[in-house]
Amino acid sequence: MAFLEPSVILMILAANAAVGVITESNAEKALEELRAYQADVATVLRNGCFSILPASELVPGDIVEVSVGCKIPADMRMIEMLSNQVRVDQAILTGESSSVEKELKITTTSNAVYQDKTNILFSGTVVVAGRARAIVVGVGPNTAMGSIRDSMLRTEDEATPLKKKLDEFGTFLAKVIAGICVLVWIVNIGHFRDPSHGGFLRGAIHYFKIAVALAVAAIPEGLPAVVTTCLALGTKRMARLNAIVRSLPSVETLGCTTVICSDKTGTLTTNMMSVAKVCVVESANRGPVVSEYSVSGTTYAPEGIIFDSTGMQLDFPAELSCLLHMAMCSALCNESTLQYNPDKGNYEKIGESTEVALRVLAEKVGLPGFDSLPSALNMLTKHERASYCNHYWEEQFRKIHVLEFSRDRKMMSVLCSRNQMHILFSKGAPESIIPRCSTILCNSDGSIVPLTADIRAELDSRFNSFAGKETLRCLALALKWMPSVQQSLSFDDEKDLTFIGLVGMLDPPRDEVKNAMLSCMTAGIRVIVVTGDNKSTAESLCRKIGAFDQLIDFSEHSYTASEFEELAPLQQTIALQRMALFTRVEPSHKRILVEALQHQNEVVAMTGDGVNDAPALKKADIGIAMGSGTAVAKSASDMVLADDNFASIVAAVAEGRAIYNNTKQFIRYMISSNIGEVVCIFVAAVLGIPDTLAPVQLLWVNLVTDGLPATAIGFNKQDSDVMRAKPRKVNEAVVSGWLFFRYLVIGAYVGLATVAGFIWWFVYSDGGPKLPYTELMNFYSCPTRETTYPCSIFDDRHPSTVSMTVLVVVEMFNALNNLSENQSLLVIPPWSNMWLVASIIITMLLHILILYVHPLSILFSVTPLSLADWTVVLYLSLPVIVIDEVLKFFSRNPIGFRFRLWFRRSDLLPKKDLHEK
């Protein structure tokens, strides 16, 4: 029996430790997944001829040949172009929405970022057009991708705000507990020699055991398990909002986020070029009348509607001559491919994103002559629908000859034949196409009329509007009827063209972004857009989103990376406080931005989807990756947005705030209950009465009966104004002075009620000995003097059972107090959280179980209670609700403001900066 109680204590503690273990994904997996972006093989010049070798064998100085579709095997400088142009998609590295044209010319820009190094091919990027040879200048860790890996290795995980505050609270609590334990031991030094102990040393050991019991009472053993459970519940709720949490503590971090650094490409935008506007000449009979059409749809999916300038939907766009010929030109003068990926459930491109956007436009225009065409197209499978209209035109026309795009011409042409009729289709930069046109195709009747100076001026005006004010990427389309005997093209054929129309395309913003960003601002969260694109393009996108309408201009709110680096330290500090847009950045700049904001005690969330975002995602307080992003970004992040929806962040922030509020509530519940246990033991020691509770009973109350209601408090509903409050300060203590005062008041009552139940059984209970109070206080001298009662009554299990039951029941009532920090139970009734009601019922059933089941009652040193005992338990427990209602009244009403102010002059706990260095 001597080992029974210690064994039970060890088992309970072991169970608690097991519950508190959190299994998290290994963040270092991101480093492994970087390898997926490294090329496996390379075409290398060795021994005077080109051969295919493993990319890992490349060394600086090797000559490598690359072509369309090749993944660049190392950082290389171009030395020879084998085609008219070379374009590379380096979005995973820089975040640029468009492919980048590479050239042989040496970069002369000072402090050049990756985007300025137009003669360098970066490892891991993909060639989308052209063919070239380059010399290797960097391999392995000496590449741009290698620097990302090094940056991630140097990044240490930051502790979350809640973890830091709980650590501070734990340190504070440990000091207080240690002080009280020593105090109790010192206060009882005079009782060490009491005869009941059998000597001074035995007395000292006895009161040391009481001090240990006091520590057991004060330490909330179940707190780690309850915090873990509450955060896990939060992750389930957030998963329903398409926010997949990879690290439990990050659930709460969202609640105090003050700045969201949002990547532009792929996060605020779709990272899919899309035709947004079309400009054609309607008629030239009554002067140059130019019509504009807008096109809906922001992805590569062939789903969208074309609207005229009045906003009316075109039911059959292919009936209009210019739109019909525009679809033909888009399908034929094109070298890209659009396909449906059933594994990912989306449409994907192969080739230039601008060319794919034209293919999608051809699908949206549709085909002529079929009244039921829109519904007929909808009946196709997604695989068939991807390029149905494009395939139709490719079957109608036979390609004879192609003039590829060249940098000097800035255009591409293709000669096609159909029914013995040969047509030249051209597409290219408007400044190259329009001067080569002598006639125009009229949209209204299909007639061809001369291109006059007035019409040319009107087209130039629309082009400047598209490219300037709206920052659209513009292409002009044209055609020319050729002799039926011609079988090839020359550059001289690209003149006297017939202008078809002008298309403006962009990487469009997501539809839901505007409202999401406005919600962030309402909640006191600042949004900074971070992108590798140029300044004007990014500013135009921000205006399109409409989320920065409160800014008159971007002059003091928009900075390029080089502009920011040139500022003096004080100016950088001011700039960080105003910044809304950060452009022309590379991976290191994103990480520097996060660190700088953290130095200003901001809690930073960083969103991103590319490899280039990984270091900043890992460094941020909470990294948020897009579900369609790279595996590297996901592994480096704390949370993944399954729907790529920026708006999901807002819902996740609200959930994070609610979780923190609930966390505060169950901490308040557990600590106030533990204070009651401390008061109980301390008062019993000071009064000199027998031990009210055994250590195993304290552990049972702390872990089992406290744990269920504390966990259920995590199901408290969100406050209605949770997203209208400003983020809490990072140095805000979990327990403020006023709140701790409330803990003390409630805890003092819990402890006194528990001692009162113990004394009641000895002094007043009909089932007890009805001792005089003085006899109870002198119980230790019972063996040395004559008494009218046997000394064995002090070993009776009834009084400690009454005390333990009072403690359990009063804590159940206290759990109801924690449905809200300040709202009355009359406003938020118990049934608003049925999980809490159920947990209280289960807890009471468990307590009754150990009282009335014989083996368990022996384990926990308890005994069954009578109806009279239960009545007294309820009388002693119920007032805790009345006391807390009074304290809540002071908290929410002006009458108690001055009283609360005294406690708020300084938080009880020490304050530390969130980001200590």
Which residues have a Cβ under 8 Å from the Cβ of 667 and sit 6 or more positions away?
169, 223, 734, 735
CA 547 to chain centre: 19
Concatenate the DSSP letters of all residues of 119-148 into one string.
TEEPTT-EEEE-EEEEEEEE-GGGSHHHHH
d(CA 722, CA 725): 6
Beta bridge partners of 639: 245, 624
d(CA 485, CA 477): 24
d(CA 75, CA 146): 10
**Buried/exposed 442-464: b ≥16 CB within 10 Å, e otherwise:** bbbeeebeebeeebbebbeebbe
Structure tokens at 288: 């140059």
CB atoms within 10 A of CB 890: 17
* Main-chain phi, psi angles of 65, to 5 degrees: -105, 135
d(CA 171, CA 169): 5
Torsion 84-357-472-608 (CA) sign: negative
Q: State yes or no: is 167 an active-site residue.
A: no
d(CA 321, CA 490): 27
Which residue bears the tokens 């009280």?
180
Residue 204 identity: A
Beta bridge partners of 45: 50
CA neighbours closer than 13 Å in the CB half-sphere of residue 899: 13
Estimate the crossing angle of helix 353-365 against helix 321-332, to 10 degrees: 140
Angle (CA) 590-592-598 rounded to 5° is: 105
Which residues have a Cβ under 8 Å from the Cβ of 705 and sit 6 or more positions away?
808, 811, 843, 846, 847
Structure tokens at 153: 């290795």
Strand-strand pairing, 346-350 and 259-263: unpaired
Q: For the chain, how many helices (H) and strands (E)?
A: 33, 29
d(CA 536, CA 439): 34
Cβ atoms of 5 and 696 within 8 Å: the answer is: yes
Structure tokens at 485: 């005997």
Which residues have a Cβ under 8 Å from the Cβ of 92 and sit 6 or more positions away?
37, 124, 125, 610, 611, 612, 630
CA neighbours closer than 13 Å in the CB half-sphere of residue 143: 30
Burial class (CB in 10 A: 0-12, 13-18, 19+), 11: exposed
CA neighbours closer than 13 Å in the CB half-sphere of residue 636: 37
Concatenate the DSSP letters of all residues of 278-344 into one string.
EEEEEESBTB-EEEEEEE---SSSS---EE-TTSPBPS-GGGSHHHHHHHHHHHHS---EEEEETTT
Strand-strand pairing, 473-482 and 448-450: unpaired
Catalytic residue among 75, 89, 194, 263: 263
d(CA 327, CA 186): 92
Which residue bears the tokens 């807390």?
884
Which residues have a catalytic role annotated?
A: 263
